[in-house]
Amino acid sequence: MAKEKVVLAYSGGLDTTAIIPWLKENYDYDVVCCCIDCGQEEELKGLDERARLSGASKLYVEDIIDDFADNYIMPCVEAGAVYEHKYLLGTSMARPAIAKKLVEVARKEGATAICHGATGKGNDQIRFELGIKALAPDLKIIAAWRDPKWTLDSREAEIEYVKKHGIDLPFSADNSYSRDRNLWHISHEGLELEDPANEPNYDHLLVLGVTPEKAPDKETEVTMTFEKGVPKTINGQAMKVSDIIRTLNKLGGENGIGIIDIVENRVVGMKSRGVYETPGGTILMAAHDQLEELILDRETMEAKKKIGSEFAQVVYEGKWFTPYREALQAFVESTQKYVTGEVKFKLYKGNIIKAGTKSDYSIYSESLASFTTGELYDHHDAQGFITLFGLPTKVRAMKYQELEKKGILKKDDE
C-alpha cells in the first residue's frame, strides 16, 4: 500500500530541511517538497540536491513571480496598503500566493496534508493556514513547530538531528539574521535587532542597498508611466510589473531608499522588531500616490485612505481569500479607472523628490488654483460657504455662551 503524501513548503533552510526526515520518522509520509519562487534569487541554488539528500521523494520549484507581482503586489499598491504606517507587507502579500500554489501541488500529487515550518510565535503560521483552509478545507495541516512530536528547539538541535540521519548539509550554528526575501522586499530579524535599544548594524545587515549616508552625492532622475493604476514604463522602456519592481529595486537600493526600522504588533499579540528593505516597493507606491493626487477627488481619496488601512490589516492577518478582501479590492479597482499618466521624480540619499506629474485625467485646474479670480470661482462665494460650513460650530458656541450667562455652565466644565 502506497504511503500518504504530504506537501512540504520548502525553503531549503535548516528548519524545512530538518522537517523532511522528521515527517518520515514521525508520520511515515512520502514527502513532496515544494519551493515557491517569489523572487528569492540566489537562495534557490542547490535545492534539488538538498531536498533529495534529506529524503524527499520529489521537489517542485514553482515560479510564481509574475502572479505575485500582478495579483498580490499590485492590489496592495493600488490600495495604498501600509501596515502601521510603515510596513509595506512584503511577507504578508507573499504567503497567500504561496498557500495557493501549495494547494495546487497537493491536488496534483494526491496529497492528504500540507506541512509548513513557520514558528508558533509568528504571523506566517496564520497566513499559511488561513489560506489553506480557505482553498482546501479537507487537507490536513501540519505545523511542525507546534507539533508535540517536534522537540528540536534550537538551531544546534536541528543540525545535530540532520547529522544523525546521515544528512551532511552546509548549515552552521553561527548566529545570523532571520531573513525573508522575495521580489518586493527582504526582512531582517534577530541578533542586535531583538533589543529595540540597539541601533541596527546596517553594514552587516543590508542586502538590497546602502544607507542614505553611503548613497551617491548626485540625483537619479526617473520617469514612470501608469495605465489604470498599473506601472507600464520606466524612463521610456516598457516592462512587465515584475521587471519594473526589479529595476526600481536596483535604483532604490543604490540611493538608500526604503529602509525602515519598525516595532510592529503581530497578530498573535506580541511586538516584534525588524528592519525591512523595500527599495522598489517604496518608490512604486510613492509614484502611484503622486499620480493619484491629480486624478482622485477629495471624498474618494479620503475613503481610499481608510480602505487602504483596512486592506493592509486584512492582508497582514492572512485573510486574503475572504469576501471582505474581495470587496475592499473591488472598491480600490473602481478608483483606478482613470489613474493614467506620467510621473517624474528624483532619488537622492533616501529621498524621493517629485519632479512633475501629468495626466489627461487630471482634475487639477490651474485657473482655479491660481490667485487670479476666474469665471468658475468668485472669492466672495467663500463667505456663504464658510457661514454654512461653520454653522454647527457657531451654534454650539452661542448656546454655551447663553448657559454661562445663566450660571448653568462654567468654562471649566467644557
> What does the pLDDT look like over 47-74, one tens digit per residue?
888 898 899 999 999 999 999 999 999 9
Specify the pLDDT at position 293: 97
Give the residue numbers marked as catalytic.
Answer: 15, 95, 124, 178
Closest CA to 193 of 271, 113, 102: 271
Residues 6+ away with beta carbon under 8 Å from 178:
188, 189, 190
Distance CA 246, CA 69 (A): 11
Percent of the chain with pLDDT over 90: 83
Specify the pLDDT at position 240: 98
Distance CA 209, CA 204 (A): 12
Closest CA to 128 of 308, 327, 281, 321: 321
Specify the pLDDT at position 371: 60
- The separation between the first and the last C-alpha atoms of the chain, rounded to the nearest angstrom, is 79
* CATH 3.40.50.620 domain locations along the chain: 5-63+92-174
Distance CA 344, CA 225 (A): 9
Specify the pLDDT at position 212: 98
Specify the pLDDT at position 369: 64
The CA dihedral of 305, 311, 313, 319, to the nearest 10 degrees, is 170
* CATH 3.90.1260.10 domain locations along the chain: 179-296+339-358
Q: What is the rounded average pLDDT for all residues in the chain?
A: 94
179-296+339-358 folds as: Argininosuccinate synthetase, chain A, domain 2 (3.90.1260)
Distance CA 127, CA 94 (A): 9
CATH of 5-63+92-174, one of 3.30.870.10, 3.40.50.300, 2.40.30.110, 3.40.50.620: 3.40.50.620
Segments of the chain scoring below 50 in pLDDT:
none
